[in-house]
């Protein structure tokens, strides 16, 4: 849910611009995916590298990145498929 909200904010910014829906989807998914990956890298260096969780961290990290991607895709689809008025 967190990545959907964060990516949705980017979608709202892109939605206000004069770009096509597929571009909005691409921006939101790209932002959400890259941010999820960077978060997991930071989490590894901050918490996991020397902890007892190291043995199970791989599965947890993959799950977190999959959830981040899912949230970004859902937010991107919502932003891309929501009709909006053209500004005069």
Read off the pLDDT of residues 7-23 as tens digits, 9 standing for 90 and up: 888 888 876 767 888 88
Q: Which residues of 2-18 are buried (b: 16+ CB within 10 A; e: fewer)?
A: ebbebbbebbeebbeee
Q: Is 26 exposed, middle or buried (0-12, 13-18, 19+ CB in 10 A)?
A: middle
Check residue 56 and report its DSSP letter: T
Q: Which of 2-11, 13-22, 79-88 has the lowest mean pLDDT?
A: 79-88
Q: Is the separation of the CB atoms in 24 and 11 below 8 Å?
A: yes
What's the pTM? Answer: 0.81
Read off the pLDDT of residues 19-76 as tens digits, 9 standing for 90 and up: 888 888 999 999 999 999 999 999 889 888 888 888 888 888 999 999 999 999 999 9
- Paired tokens of 27: 């921006």
């Amino acid at each position: 849910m967190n990545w959907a909200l964060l990516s949705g904010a980017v979608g709202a910014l892109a939605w206000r611009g004069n770009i096509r829906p597929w571009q909005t989807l691409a921006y939101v998914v790209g932002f959400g995916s890259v941010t999820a990956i960077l978060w997991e890298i930071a989490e590894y260096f901050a918490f996991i590298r020397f902890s007892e969780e190291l043995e199970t961290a791989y599965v947890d990290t993959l799950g977190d990145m999959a959830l981040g991607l899912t949230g970004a895709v859902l937010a991107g689809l919502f932003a891309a498929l929501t009709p909006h008025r053209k500004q005069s």
